[in-house]
Amino acid sequence: MTCWQSGRRSLADEALISFNEKAAAAPIVVRFEMAITPAEFRRLVYLLPGSQQVRLDEMSATCEQTNGQRWQVTLSNARMRSLASLKLPIADVEIEMTGYSASEFQHFLEQFHLVFRRGGG
């Protein structure tokens, strides 16, 4: 799956999301850039679906469910970006999901973006 730096899927991949409602055998991985600090990530990750079973590290969160589904969100390369006098925290994000159908994957991504959205969406 190809994502733009903003985290939005490319139009070519839009059609691929609905291709299969069975759980994917191979992990689904998406990568994008977000305006977030590791502290904000650790504070908000508990709002994600299934997070009552989350294992939290400094720069990642992993949730393994009893039905074999697993998701992992990893931050890397935390840095500051300057836009004129505005300074934003930026981190690279990788989401890896195993055992999820395309619709479950889509639902998780929607919830992820709702949890971590910043002012104005």
Give residue-wise pLDDT tens across range 63-75.
Answer: 998 888 999 999 9
> Which CATH number describes the domain made up of 11-116?
3.30.310
110 token code pair: 């929607």
> Which range has the worst mean pLDDT, 6-10, 43-47, 51-55, 64-68?
6-10
State residue 19's pLDDT score: 45
Q: Is the pLDDT of residue 42 over 50?
A: yes
Which residues, in sequence order, are bridge partners of residue 33?
Answer: 92
pTM to 2 decimal places: 0.77
Q: Tell me the torsion sign for CA atoms 29, 32, 34, 37.
A: positive
Looking from the CA of 83 toward its CB, the CA atoms found within 13 Å total 5
Confidence of residue 53 (pLDDT cuts 50, 70, 90): confident
